[in-house]
Structure 1
Amino acid sequence: MRRILVVGITGAGKSTMARTLSSRFAVPYHEMDALHFAGPGWAVNDEFVTQVARIASSPAWIFDSYGYPEVRDLLWEHADTVVWLDYPRRVIMPRVLRRSLRRTLLRERIFGGNRETLTDWFRRDHPAWWAWSQHGVRRADIQRRVRDPRFAPLQVIRFGTPEEAADWLRSQ
């Protein structure tokens, strides 16, 4: 496991899992949202695809992503391992709601110095709305990719609950 892609719906814990794996396996972790957003106003990094392609061609990395269609196939083609946090909505939604509420109330700076605001909660691309509406779509796409021969040989480690993931991490 040297090129690890951690996938799942918004709020599944991809970044947390990726940081843990990075520490455990001494493999560099790259936070996809931090690479994608370049600055205030959710400005997009013009070099995003180039940066991801450069990292993906290196011998070892961990990304926490499923999104960003412009680099999705690239990451799946270069990965040797996919860690899939395949959690149900009843697990995801409380997590994403707590995280967004904390970020909004505490005005936490995130990617590119941006912040989640109360107004953002009413947008279709807010993490809470996105996690709810995209849960089934994302799950189906990941299932399709796992079976796609273009991405073989690919080790897939799938967890249906956070407890399964925690047990696996303890065994590593």
Structure 2
Amino acid sequence: MNIPQRIAVAGTSGVGKTTLCRQLEDLLGYPRAELDALFLGENWTPRPSFLREVEDFITGEQWICEYQYPQARPLIAARADTLVWLDFKFSVQMTRLIKRTVFRSLSKKPLWNNNVEQPLHTIVKDPDDILGWAWRSRNDLKKSVPQLQQGFPHLTIVHLKSPGQVKLWIQKISS
């Protein structure tokens, strides 16, 4: 098996994109960019330098990043050789997302650029909260990822439907 050199990890919020990116970084030693950190400035505001920083990062010969943010996706797909699509059951995704959101909210652990998760009582009231967004966008990639090969024929798509399949794929590329 050829080891991927430029890897983008796609999936809905909470499915484990960043976790897989970290695992691949540890395994392969490639540079990794966390797109949320590039996109979100202080007070959850978009950073104007986002696309320039993505373009700079993906010029490298080896790298790992999440495949997110619609404005960055075409840039990433054009340079990536492999897109790993984490397409788990919605119940798996939401369970992970709820656990992560509750932990972040209660711990007040700083995220990107000193942002912290909202207090739990505001999350369910905010129409733009992460849980509502995850619900609304849960099927977006099911429409767009299968069409990627038409626009980016060089891109190998690895479609993983469970955490067990992720473990097997990692074992394949590590041997």
1:24 is aligned to: 27
What letter is aligned with 2:5? R
1:36 is the counterpart of 2:35: no
Shift of residue 170 of structure 1?
2.5
2:11 is aligned to: 8
1:142 is aligned to: 145
Shift of residue 47 of structure 1?
0.9
- Pairing 1:11-90 to 2, within 5 Å after superposition: 11-39=14-42, 41-66=43-68, 68-90=69-91
Cα deviation 1:139-169 (Å, max 9, x = unaligned):
2112222x32x21111111110011111221
1:152 is the counterpart of 2:153: yes
Confirm or deny: 8 A CA contact 2:58 2:79 kept in the other structure. yes
Shift of residue 57 of structure 1?
1.6
Confirm or deny: 8 A CA contact 1:8 1:85 kept in the other structure. yes
Shift of residue 89 of structure 1?
0.4
Cα deviation 1:121-150 (Å, max 9, x = unaligned):
4223322111111111232112222x32x2
Could you say what the CA RMSD is over the residues aligned between the two structures, in angstroms?
1.3
What letter is aligned with 1:114? N
1:133 is the counterpart of 2:136: yes
What fraction of aligned residue pairs are identical, expressed as a percent? 29
In the alignment, structure 1 segments of 5+ residues that lack a partner are none
Q: Which runs of 4+ in 1 moved over 4 A?
A: none
Confirm or deny: 8 A CA contact 2:82 2:158 kept in the other structure. yes
Shift of residue 69 of structure 1?
1.6
Shift of residue 58 of structure 1?
1.7
For 2:106 and 2:116, how far apart are their aligned partners in 1?
Answer: 10
Confirm or deny: 8 A CA contact 1:35 1:45 kept in the other structure. yes
What letter is aligned with 1:49? L
What letter is aligned with 1:107? K
For 2:5 and 2:101, how far apart are their aligned partners in 1?
Answer: 31
Confirm or deny: 8 A CA contact 1:8 1:139 kept in the other structure. no
Shift of residue 8 of structure 1?
0.5
Comparing 87-96 with 108-117, which one deviates more in the overlay?
Answer: 108-117
Q: What is the TM-score normalised by the length of structure 2? A: 0.90
Confirm or deny: 8 A CA contact 2:67 2:76 kept in the other structure. no
Structure with greater proportional helix content? 1
Task: Count matched residues.
Answer: 168
Shift of residue 46 of structure 1?
1.5
The partner residue of 1:122 within 121, 125, 134 is 125
